[in-house]
């Protein structure tokens, strides 16, 4: 009798997508028993690599499939553990592992086989996309990883913008520095060290500046156009880059007030966009009414006051809607806007220097995906409801 784990998750899994372990018992006679089952004890935890504890959180059971394998997809359990908003927790990471064994009945007795413990893996609050394979490594499926974004490759920024980009610095990658290269000051390429690689969930993700206004922006000279990429080692040598490069181009402000939106992307981190054409806010109210009894029925005589009414509002609720429009954008923004419309955490950054935000819920449920070949010029509109109404009522 020999039990083995034949499929493991990726080293860093996006927990909303399939996260599979496959186990196999080599003894065919044992597998043929109608009572035979695979069991897996699931452990998950935060903190250091060694803090798993001795008690599992879940016990999962599977009968063997047609080829005798037990497949355990732990994604739904793992994704349910991410309860904190990204705005409150910049490192939404969990360690996890399974301890698997078999169980079967012989006569009137139940028997348990020897245990096999998996390696320890990390899960992030995010999701993969179709065309990626189950358990595929992010280094293969995500163009910019260890940057935790899907781009796009070329982005525009406005002079007053702030913003930060998340980078994975766990031991699964060899990233050690990020490079900011200013095209208008080519001699001022700046290599900046990232924190040391961490085997603690709280230190697996860090943020780096993506705009010149951030206080830790590494180039002292004011620059308009620049690129950011990641490397191994401390200096770029032409062959030690990890992931693709992101380019940023400064645009002149339009005559309209800019609305800067950030949202949780598929990696569980924030992406940003400037909606710098016409934006409108709409104030909506919803009220209920009842007919009160007027008159001095408890007095000696019946009368009424001129301020009494037979129509009284007793519930008045209010909502604030925000409608925004893009400038002309490139076709590569289509995938980013799909993530915006699918996001469960969106904010209007109304005070960028102080990172003051208003939570939003997106109302737009569909948009026609435009292409440069068909539509020539691409613009989109989105509608949101603000998550905080007008009255401060809990």
The residue among 85, 84, 59 whose CA lies nearest residue 74 is 59
370: tokens are 């435009």
Contacts of 210 (CB under 8 A, 6+ apart): 163, 164, 165, 228, 246, 248, 272
Beta bridge partners of 39: 61, 101
Specify the 3-state DSSP secondary structure of 86.
Answer: coil
- Cα separation, 96 vs 305, whole angstroms: 70
**Do the domains 142-252 and 3-135 match in fold?**
yes
- Cα separation, 231 vs 194, whole angstroms: 10
Are the C-beta atoms of 15 and 74 separated by less than 8 Å?
Answer: no
Q: What does the domain layout of the chain look like in residue ranges?
A: 3-135, 142-252, 256-394
pLDDT at 202: 87
Higher pLDDT among residues 222 and 132, named by residue: 132
The residue among 261, 45, 250, 71 whose CA lies nearest residue 155 is 250
Higher pLDDT among residues 233 and 183, named by residue: 233
The b/e string for 191-204 (b: 16+ C-beta within 10 A; e otherwise) is: beebeeebeebebb
What architecture is domain 3-135?
Sandwich (2.60)
pLDDT band (50, 70, 90) for residue 187: low
- CB half-sphere exposure, 282, CA atoms < 13 A: 9
- Cα separation, 100 vs 113, whole angstroms: 9
pLDDT band (50, 70, 90) for residue 50: confident
Supply φ then ψ for residue 70, to 5 degrees.
-110, 125
What's the pLDDT tens digit per position in 325-336?
999 999 999 999
**Average confidence (pLDDT) over 379-386:** 95
pLDDT band (50, 70, 90) for residue 206: very high
pLDDT band (50, 70, 90) for residue 180: very high
**Among the residues of 228-370, which ranges form H helices?**
333-342
- Is residue 198 pLDDT above 90, yes or no? no
What's the pLDDT tens digit per position in 107-141?
888 889 999 999 999 999 999 999 999 999 998 88
What's the pLDDT tens digit per position in 261-298?
999 999 999 999 999 999 999 999 888 999 999 999 99
What's the pLDDT tens digit per position in 88-99?
876 689 999 999
Mean pLDDT of the chain: 92
What CATH topology corresponds to 142-252? Immunoglobulin-like (2.60.40)
**Average confidence (pLDDT) over 194-206:** 88
- Is residue 183 pLDDT above 80, yes or no? no
pLDDT at 107: 82
The residue among 218, 338, 183, 226 whose CA lies nearest residue 273 is 338
Please provide the distance, in angstroms rounded to a whole number, between the alpha carbons at the two ends of the chain: 60
């Amino acid at each position: 009798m020999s039990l083995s784990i034949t499929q493991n998750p990726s080293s860093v899994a996006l927990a909303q997508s399939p996260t599979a372990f496959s186990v196999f018992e080599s003894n065919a006679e044992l597998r043929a028993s109608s009572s035979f089952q695979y069991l897996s004890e699931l452990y998950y935890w935060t903190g250091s690599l060694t803090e798993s504890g001795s008690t599992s959180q879940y016990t999962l059971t599977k009968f063997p499939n047609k080829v005798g394998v037990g497949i355990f997809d732990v994604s739904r359990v793992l994704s349910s553990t991410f309860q904190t908003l990204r705005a409150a927790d910049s490192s939404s990471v969990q360690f996890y592992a399974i301890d698997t064994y078999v169980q079967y009945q012989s006569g009137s007795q139940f028997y348990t086989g020897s245990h096999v413990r998996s390696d320890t893996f990390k899960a992030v609050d995010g999701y993969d996309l179709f065309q990626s394979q189950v358990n595929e490594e992010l280094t293969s499926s995500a163009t910019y990883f260890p940057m935790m974004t899907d781009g796009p490759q070329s982005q525009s920024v406005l002079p007053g913008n702030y913003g930060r980009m998340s980078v994975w610095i766990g031991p699964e990658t060899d990233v050690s520095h990020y490079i900011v290269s200013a095209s208008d000051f080519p001699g001022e390429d700046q290599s900046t060290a990232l924190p040391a690689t961490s085997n603690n969930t709280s230190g697996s993700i860090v943020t780096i500046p993506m705009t010149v206004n951030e206080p830790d922006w590494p180039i002292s000279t004011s620059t308009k156009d620049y690129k950011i990429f990641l490397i191994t080692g401390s200096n770029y040598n032409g062959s030690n880059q990890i992931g693709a490069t992101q380019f940023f181009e400064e645009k002149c402000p339009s005559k309209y007030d800019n609305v800067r939106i950030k949202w949780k992307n598929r990696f569980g981190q924030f992406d940003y966009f400037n909606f710098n054409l016409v934006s409108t806010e709409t104030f909506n109210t919803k009220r209920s009414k009842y007919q009160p009894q007027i008159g001095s029925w408890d007095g000696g005589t019946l009368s009424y006051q001129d301020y009494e009414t037979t129509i009284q509002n007793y519930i008045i609720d209010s909502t604030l809607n925000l409608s925004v429009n893009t400038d002309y954008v490139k076709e590569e923004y289509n995938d980013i806007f799909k993530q915006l419309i699918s996001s469960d955490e969106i904010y209007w950054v109304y005070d960028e220097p102080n990172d003051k935000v208003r939570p939003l819920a997106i109302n737009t449920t569909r948009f026609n995906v435009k292409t440069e070949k068909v539509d020539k010029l691409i613009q989109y509109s989105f509608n949101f409801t603000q998550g905080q109404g007008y009255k401060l009522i809990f």
